[in-house]
Amino acid sequence: MKTLVLPKEHLDFFASVLQQFGEVHGPVAQGDHFVFRRLRRWSEIRLDYPRTLLPPKKYVLPPRECLFHYRPKDGYVPDTTGLDRRVVLFGVHACDIYGINILDQVFAGRYPDPYYQARRRNLAIIGIDCTPDEHCFCRSMRADFVSQGFDLFLQDLGDRYLTFVGTALGDDMVLATGGLFRAVTREDIEEYKERSAVRRQAFVLDPEIRDLPEIFEMEYQNELWEELGAKCVSCGACSTVCPTCYCYDVSDDVALGTLEGLRSRTWDSCLFAGHAVVAGGENFRGSRASRVKFRFYHKQRGFVTEYGRPGCVGCGRCLEVCPAGIDIVKIIDRLREVHHAAAS
Ligand code: SF4
Ligand code: SF4
């Protein structure tokens, strides 16, 4: 991968150059939180943010989108609104890029999704490094460093950014600046190594995920799941904020008295009481305990079987938002503890 250096004094100009590649979006402060949105001014951007409330999945899988309209006269007409909008998302952390990489696998897999893929093609990603806070555990989930899924990735070296060029588009962005980036020196690399070592030491949470699929397999009947089910209020906040949760519901809105309507999809959550209701009214995950358990099993075991890695990137959002204090790190630690206690 090509690596260059961008002196920070050129960052504002670089941001202005990016406008030729699409709408520039980034993290901004909003009340007590940070959100990704279109920048009205470059000075709004907050590159020191810990995490945004919603992950960048909203750019490739909007909370609600119309799939197609239908009318007897026209048949089914796909709704392509917004699919050609080009967005440059600046300041995405490694864990969130990992989240998008996981969604890429899901939506390009067995059932390729043209809506997702069109949005993804038009989304340029400029990553940036970050400092872990008390909720981050991306290091344990092997998502603290990314080598793909971005166009450029900036590593802060104080007065400059070490810049990884991930794609041809990233290369075009560099070229469009007309020479703002310079070659890397040995000193840059040494400083990068020092800063990376300091960052690794800054993680407070460090759950051990080795053998986790096996532990989950063995502890399927553990009483912990009933305990968590009694606490969970089925609000769905954990999956709404999760960068890798992608369940959606499909519904039709038919205009009364006509044969016209539209079909749309909306984010759903496996924690909602009606998520697993099927025709005839049967709910095969009717209890809250079964739904909490399903979410954890899907992330930590099902994903490993299907994609070779957990479906959690350790972003810390669900720990922060759960009103019941359900904490994935504590659950991993506790399951490991009871599993090994029983075995000894
Ligand atoms: S499960 Fe929680 S910590 Fe893991 S990626 Fe989703 S929101 Fe982040
Ligand atoms: S955020 Fe907490 S309370 Fe809400 S559905 Fe998720 S686990 Fe349950």
pLDDT in tens, 38-54: 999 999 999 999 999 99
pLDDT at 342 over 70: no
Say what the pLDDT of residue 149 is.
98
The pTM of this model reads 0.95
Q: Does 242 contact ligand 2 (Cβ within 6 A)?
A: no
Cα 311 to middle of ligand 1, angstroms: 8
Token pair of 89 as six digits: 């998302």
Instruction: Tell me the average pLDDT of the chain.
Output: 95
Q: Determine the 3-state secondary structure of 278 from DSSP.
A: coil
Q: From the alpha carbon of 234, which atom of ligand 2 is closest?
A: 5
pLDDT at 110 over 90: no
pLDDT at 338 over 90: no
pLDDT at 233 over 90: yes
Q: What is the pLDDT of residues 54-96, one digit of tens each?
A: 999 999 999 999 999 999 999 999 999 999 999 999 999 999 9
Pocket test for ligand 2, best of 295, 322, 331 (most atoms within 8 A of CB): 322
Token pair of 7 as six digits: 């002196």
Strand extents, DSSP E, the chain: 2-7, 23-30, 33-38, 64-71, 75-78, 87-92, 123-128, 152-156, 160-165, 182-183, 248-254, 261-267
Q: Does 233 contact ligand 2 (Cβ within 6 A)?
A: yes
- Mean predicted confidence (pLDDT) in 225-237: 97
Say what the pLDDT of residue 294 is.
95
- Mean predicted confidence (pLDDT) in 283-305: 94
Say what the pLDDT of residue 210 is.
84
Query: Which bound ligand lies closest to the C-alpha atom of 136?
Result: 1
Distances (CA, A) of 75 to 53, 78, 113: 39, 10, 21
Least confident segment among 142-151, 159-168, 334-343: 334-343
